[in-house]
Amino acid sequence: MNTDNPYILLTPGPLSTSPTVREAMLRDWCTWDDDYNLGIITPIRQGLIQLATATRPEDYTCVLMQGSGTFSVESMIGSVVPDDGKLLVLTNGAYGDRLAEIASYLKIKHLVHDSGELAPPDLKRLEQALLEDKQITHVIAVHNETTTGMMNPLEDIAKVVKTHDKIFMVDSMSAFGGVPLDVAELGIDFLVSSANKCIQGVPGFGFIIAKTCELRKTEGIARSLSLDLYKQWRGHETGKGKWRFTSPTHVTRAFYQAMLELEAEGGVFARYKRYSENQRRLVSGMEKLGFRCVLPEKYHSPIITGFYNPEHVDYNFMKFYNSLKEKGFVIYPGKVTGIDSFRIGTIGHVFPEDITRLLRAVEESMYWAYEYELLGS
């Protein structure tokens, strides 16, 4: 349970961190010193590969990249798809749309399959496109679409993409470290996530898990100097972990602590169980209070859940939000187009008892539902 925080963030990143992760930042580091590169960066890179695949870690490498998660996504897309390649983007939300937007900015040839925010990707359509459009070389999908909280069927998508022997890239920003997966088993070639999501670090960098033999083929493709994935990787490899340009030293030190805490918790599966318990408790409690989920249960993820805003005339999201914030909980506005909703995240340094406290706070904040009591008093 959180007792040291003025309020806890029930948002999909940045999220609530442990006091020990925050304390780890209280010291300065030199970016070319071995204490930093061999003591912090190298174990982070190795640890992330271990989290990504238990079966074939030797086939993968890890590149760290400055900036928020989107910088790493842009680095990956812009450094991996060549000028004569074509990218198929699967989207069912704002983060999938962002992948297509990046491809547009970078003038990368691409095709978008949009299944709408309330449906998973259409696998038959994917299969059809890969059969018919021989120009497609790469496919990219979002793992957990944070817009709605929909857990996309990564295994099924991977199967189709790999049957057709395409390069498979995944934005697993809000799932990696909190949802078990094995990139080698799924045949994922590139996967991206960031420091401030399920590993529970603070914001400041992202990382790309790459199949080494595929990354090797990408020299010279990058469309940006600072986001050149291949060069960043060569920098790490030849410099004992060193980053090409100033690295976010305090953030990486905090992240190293966060990785130790993930291990101490029992690894990704244990964390997945905690997040799942948080989410189950949240949904059943909210439904008891009369709220309805945006997605049917079969599409839920342990990461974040969307709820319809109550239809009551007196309901106002900002008033509800502020009341919860006063009681120590920060929730998230909705992002689904055309649906009046808000979201509550269940990841981060957040425990089932925190969810129970949240539910009590929600009940106390439902001023619109207690009108009759006010009138009666």
Annotated binding site: 343
* Binding flag, residue 66, ligand PLP (CB under 6 A): no
Question: In Å, what is the CA distance from 85 to each residue of 74, 121, 218?
Answer: 16, 22, 12
Inter-residue contact 79 to 218 (CB < 8 Å): yes
* Binding flag, residue 299, ligand PLP (CB under 6 A): no
Assign 17 to helix, strand or coil.
coil
Which tokens hold the place of 301?
Answer: 């993820």
- Give min distance, CB of 124 to ligand PLP, in A: 24
How many whole angstroms separate alpha carbon 125 and alpha carbon 377? 60
- Among positions 36, 60, 95, 233, the unique one binding ligand PLP when judged by CB under 6 A: 95
- Among positions 18, 61, 68, 75, the unique one binding ligand PLP when judged by CB under 6 A: 68
- Among positions 74, 171, 189, 228, the unique one binding ligand PLP when judged by CB under 6 A: 171
Minimal CB distance to ligand PLP: which residue?
69
Nearest to 307 by CA among 322, 318, 292: 292
- Give min distance, CB of 223 to ligand PLP, in A: 18
Beta bridge partners of 305: 344
* Binding flag, residue 89, ligand PLP (CB under 6 A): no
* Residues 135-164 within binding reach of ligand PLP (CB under 6 A): 142, 146
Binding mask 10-39 for ligand PLP (x = CB under 6 A): --xx--------------------------
How many whole angstroms separate alpha carbon 25 and alpha carbon 202? 10
> Of the ranges 68-76, 277-285, 288-296, 321-329, which one interacts with ligand PLP (CB under 6 A)?
68-76
Cβ-based neighbours of 85, under 8 Å, separated by 6 or more: 108, 109, 137, 138
> Of the ranges 122-130, 170-178, 238-246, 344-352, which one interacts with ligand PLP (CB under 6 A)?
170-178
- Region of 187 please: left (phi>0), alpha (psi -120 to 50) or beta: left
* Binding flag, residue 302, ligand PLP (CB under 6 A): no
- Give min distance, CB of 68 to ligand PLP, in A: 3
Which tokens hold the place of 191?
Answer: 């996967």
Which tokens hold the place of 70?
Answer: 């989107």
Tokens 């490498």: give the residue.
61
> Of the ranges 167-175, 236-244, 336-344, 349-357, which one interacts with ligand PLP (CB under 6 A)?
167-175
Could you list the residues known to form a binding site for substrate, using ranges: 343
* Binding flag, residue 174, ligand PLP (CB under 6 A): yes
Question: In Å, what is the CA distance from 289 to each residue of 9, 342, 375?
Answer: 21, 15, 21
Contact footprint for ligand PLP (CB under 6 A): 12-13, 68-70, 95, 142, 146, 171, 173-174, 194
